[in-house]
A and B are shown apart, each in its own frame.
Chain A
Amino acid sequence: MKALLFALRSFGRELRSGEVLVLLAAVGLAVAALTAVGFLTDRIGKAVARQANEVLAADLRLRSQEPVPAEWREMAADFNLETADTLSFPSVVFNGDDSALSSIKVVSDKYPLRGAMRVSDELFGEQREVDTVPASGEVWADGALLARVGADVGDILDIGELQLRVSAVLTYRPDQSIGFASLAPTVVMNIADIDRSGLIGVGSRVRYALLIAGDEQNVASFNEAIQDKLPDEIRVRSQEESSERAYNAADRAQRFLSLTAVISLLLSAVAVAMSARRFAHRRMDAVALMKSLGATQGFVIQVSLVQLLLLGILGVAAGSIVGYAAEGIISRILADLLAGDLPEAGLRPVILASGSALVLMLGFALPSMIQLRNTPPLRVLRHDEMPPAPSRLLVGGLSLLAVAALLYRSVGDPRMLVILIGGIVVIAGGLYLVGRGLVAIIGRARSGVGVAWRYGLANVARRGRDSAVQVVAFGLGITVLLLLTLVRTDLLEGWRQTMDEDAPNHFLINIQPHEVESVGEMFVTNDLEVPTFTPLVRARMTSINGESVKDRKYPNEDGRWLANREANLSWSAELSSSNEIVEGQWWSAEYKGPALVSIEEEAAMNAGLTLGDKLEFFVAGRSVEAEISSIRKINWDSFQPNFFLVLSPGALDDLPTTYISSMRIADDKQPMLIDLMRKHPAVSVIDLGAILQQVRGIIEKATLAVQAVFVFTLAAGIAVLFAAVQSTIDERRFESAMLRALGARKLTVFSGVMAEFAALGAAAGFLASAGASILAWLVATELFELPYEFSLLIWVAGIGAGIFVVCVSGFFAARGAVNAAPVDVLRGVTT
């Protein structure tokens, strides 16, 4: 009680004296950075996820071969979720005598729940977004379909027993990339018309879907609630299964965002730890004095804790205000990128950040405070008497505990947690050891250099443990910033390829062998590069190593599905440029032996297949057996035709084959496609433009998120360095005053200080480069599944950045110390 009163009373005085400002600033900065990053990751993360969900036109999709029973719709309503129904099936559409196979999409009023359809009023006309569906008695049809049957807006199409008027040209629907299998052009019609169509009957291949969307939390709990109850014939699809490409981009962006959040957390932790150290150090004299005047340990620690807590609260308050303001400004800047219907970010990130900062402060400052308690009162007589250093176990344990607790909250991914914490602990340990070693070497080296350097290097050596701690702080700061830079560069580079303006934007499928040549000629006459035609053979897998695919056990459902569905096989002499062999070997170009097959990595895993397994296929009355000779990884971002199963040349000769191809066709050349469809009515043209646009949308947001968050983390990193320099500022003031009193010129003293920082920065940068290279490799390969190349440049950058950043923050921090008038300092010290 007495301690509380005393602490409260003297806190005001402490504040006035400015003693505690550094810790206050560190805590404030931590909160501000965490708030801003938390806000960005939260908001942008949601925007990215929403965009990715567009691919599904919903957050969740229940699909079935039968109508989805009403109970699921009601259950969704109970969870406060919106629903929409869709049916899709293939059907022939007539315009008079012209007909074409088309994919009919029957939708209810609310479709789509995510994203929006776009239509135009005439073929190749200006497109606009709509939030309705075709009225009863009307349809919206793909331009490709209209071209093929020679119809235009306003014409009547016969679909089943219905006669429906084309009221608009469908140019985009969010879920068009789903079900690549049914690639026929789409007609969208109203669900009200379906009963009269006569299209739904026994044997019709109708796929029913119930679309569900709503609050993230509600969707998740709904998804959880239905997991066990769902009958076998209903399958749930969430966004991650629906579009590999879109999902990959969104997923990596999310991972990067959480990585960034973690890193700003770590940086804040280091900043708080450094300034807490200084805070404790500065209080040591006061504590020794209080003890000599009769204060007990309990009293001393209570006072310190209360003041620490008060500081924390003040810092948190200041940081919250800054963070909240930043949040407001950022959301205004990003307004059009963050879709309008996102919930306001609100106070949540502020509260989380404040909590985190308080936990950090306790975890990192507590050991220093506990150390304070043991300050020997003898210090009042012998100034070099120090309290015993806090137990390493305590320091390590408490700080790790604090960080782990926070990380666990912000990263759902235990693997990332292990990699990061493990990496950081190892790097910090290494930094400390090497730091001490370097300090020793630097101490030796000082006799061979000029006075400024000697003074600087002597300082590094004398402050042994302190210098090593500084190297750790600098090093960790630089490590995580380098790490972030490396991963960010990798990520952006990967995305750039997808964003490539030359990426294919059209697929041609169902090209008959005899058409290959004339289709190719059409490209020549239109001044376009003739694309590669890839063969495709439809087959059914019948057995694996002699065992029927129906009876076999699979590691998971996807594997069973893969083995039992109709398979698209291809053959090729050369490995596609978008593929990479991960196991086994690709056959030589002249290979003529027994049939071999190369399987995609994930498919192999799902179906439990390995090298040497024998797959038997049934094609057009013939059986083909092939042995797995390699496993491939496919870069789905390439937009090239790719197959799970590719056989060796000759294996599929004389079997019914069609060809597919992908190509880039510039906008002004697109009319040639209508020509092509007229001449080769059986060939289907698929416009990837819309999908590309979707993926780009995601990537643009993700890129922005990555950049913005990076800037904030950078700021937190600088704060660490500043705090590290600040922690020695008092000593520096005194030393510099003394040296100048002894006749050293300001410049000499200053050069000495800079020499010290340069040495520290170089050491830290060197170690950080090593640490970051290893961590980045782990993170890139393990978490982002990106190829990683070790680069020498990072060492140059690391050491350069180390020297530069440490010297710059050192410059600002030490300038005051060097400029202080010697008399003032020397007077002040003997108070």
Chain B
Amino acid sequence: MHDFLQDVRFALRMLRKAPAFTIAALVVLALGIGATSAIFSVVNAVVLRPLPYPDSDRIVVIHQDFRTAGLDEMAFGIPEYHDFRDQNRSLEAVAAYQLRDKNLASVDPPERLLVATVSPAFFPVLKIEAAPGRVFTPDEAKAGNDRVVLLSHALWQRRFGGDTSIVGRSVALSGEPYTVVGVLPRGFVLPQKVDVWVPLAPTELESSEERRNWRNYDLLARLKTGVSVEQAQEDLTALRRRMNEEHEGAAPGTSQLLVKVRTLKDFTVGETQTTLVFLLGAVAFVLLIACANVANLLLARAAVRQREIAVRAALGAGSGRIAVQFLVESAVLAVLGGALGLLLALWGVDALVAIDPDRLPRAEEIHLDGVVVAFTLGVSLVTGLVFGVIPAIHASRVDPADVLKEGSRGTAGGRMGRFRNALVVAQIALALMLLAGAGLMTRSLTAMARMPLGFEPEGVLTAKLAITNPRYKEDKAKAAFARDLLARVRNLPGVAGAGITTNLPISVRYSQSFRIEGKTPAEHERWPYAVHREITPGYLEAMRVPLIEGRMLSDQDHEDAPRAVVVNQALVKTYFPEGSAVGRRIRPPCGDDEKTCPFRTIVGVVGDVREVSSEETIAPTFYASYAQGPWHNLNIVIRTSQDPLSLVAALRSEIRALDREQPIYDVLPMQARVEQRLGPRRFALEVLSVFAITALILAAVGLYGVTSYMVTQRTREFGIRLALGAEARDILGMVLKRSLVLAGIGIGVGLAASLALSRVMASVIYGVSERDPLTLAIACPVLAAAAMLASFFPARRATRVPPAIALRSE
């Protein structure tokens, strides 16, 4: 122990004695460790740390998997929910929930709220309590008792000033009074960014067998103690199979339904996990480069300190003792670097979260905590061991007799030189891999951005409204609202066109099975499936979706007119391969009664619109007339020749004039939505680019350091060569060639490793081959150029060695 403290003290003294070395090493270490800690903070909060609910690993989300129809996250009908709730053998409690929009109008300005309709079991499943107040009682799940509401902590603070007397008071949601029964804990927003919760009280009709396939609810459940996700999956799948048999024929085409059980965490974190784990891997490369860099600096110092080491050895220090002393020095260095890295991570975490806070799940939970600090300390110590072990071994092998001999410094090559070279090669190889990765991602994003969308987002303003007030209960009222709003908007100066859709492209989409007149699918044949949305006249025109055949929807397709739809080319190609679709009729799965569920005539065919950024093929889609099937979720799109945002104020005042209690939200230019869809990939790219540039700089600095050190070590040799008649360019060439060889080997190793790891890349890129030759062809010369630049200055120094140095004894 005493020895150890003495070693630490000595280490600190040595670091103070060589400030240039110490600063260089600390900067490199802080960069490597800081980046690692920052990424780890995010991974820890998002992926590793359990959700903040008791026994959260037992909370699962259940969906139906209708793979044959390309749907893997289908919801449940109320009768299905009841079957699963009552007949399962693996779940302790099951709750159903649905997200809805409602408008809070009792305060000014009116605000659109995201509402979760949840069965009372929802909170016991999560083991969440309300304070002040209470969560829902089972009794409140009965129609008539259900006008109660729970507020999110944020809404309570924002709109009600955190007043505890709110419990028991009444608030108006979309024009209807609800009694507040409680406030949920700070940060609780499940299922996603929810403002208020109301009890799910299914109507008799909703619970009836007739509505078995009206699938509107997702399920949240708590596993019984000791039951694994896989066991629950098995249990529920068996149950689903039994139900398929029981209800065969009742719902044609859905007899292949399966069940998908995931932990709530997997469901919440989703794809982000892949990205984050990928980035954690990438940052490990940066850390390794930093290690190699510092190891090289230490080796250089060990060489300078040969005499000290030899004297220690001559005084009787065993080789183990000397190695330990060097390791202690490395560890001290690493811990100091780690402390600096932690400061850097503090800032880095904020920067990471700031890139895309909306799309990063659990972003509000991300911060440096004890786990991160412990991780950083661990990483620092391991780092110290990794970069310290080679110099330590080297130091322990110094032969005292060797060093005390005069003039034996000439043998600059040897074992240590090879280590140093290998370290540089490793740095270059790692940097190439990161560069190639960032390059591939850039190319992938460009490819995605270039994919034709099928519409023109520039010059389009979009905004959302939910017309949930009882005054819009009737379809006619909804249709009238839409018509009036559009009439007002079209009269605004600078507006070239406007329309309304129930769903924008590049957002959630709803699919529906349908039936083609004159075609009956065989029992096990897949039913036709299509994405559908309701639109007003002018929507497709405002988006500049081209008409291919027939006509667009127009005012003639009003509520009393025959049902009309427009379809996209993909639908024609898939379901009418024999020829024209115009004039053919389709019917949604609402029954066989032509009175209540009439066939819809295809009146026109329009161009395909890309719905999801990464989709290779475009889904069949039909657009129905909004007036013939209105819905409370509206998206207004306005085409203008001006800056779209310049219309926002006018749009707001038109809506106010129409209904002063009606809020709009999510006002964005369409172009911004298009860019958002690249969100998670852009996040990964931005972080990876920072890593790649850091890696490039570290590798270049590493090569500079090695070359510089080599030139210093071999000053005399260059003097001798000059004395023997070498010219400056011989020396320059010699040094540069050596660097180029190192860089070349590094690039070669890096290329091979990149190709070996291309499978990993494939998981995060799209639209470009993970072995894209162009990217690699660019990454290599970039690195080679950096290597040349890094060694040019030391090389030039070598040419300026005075040849007379050869005459001097050392």
Are A and B associated in one complex?
A: no
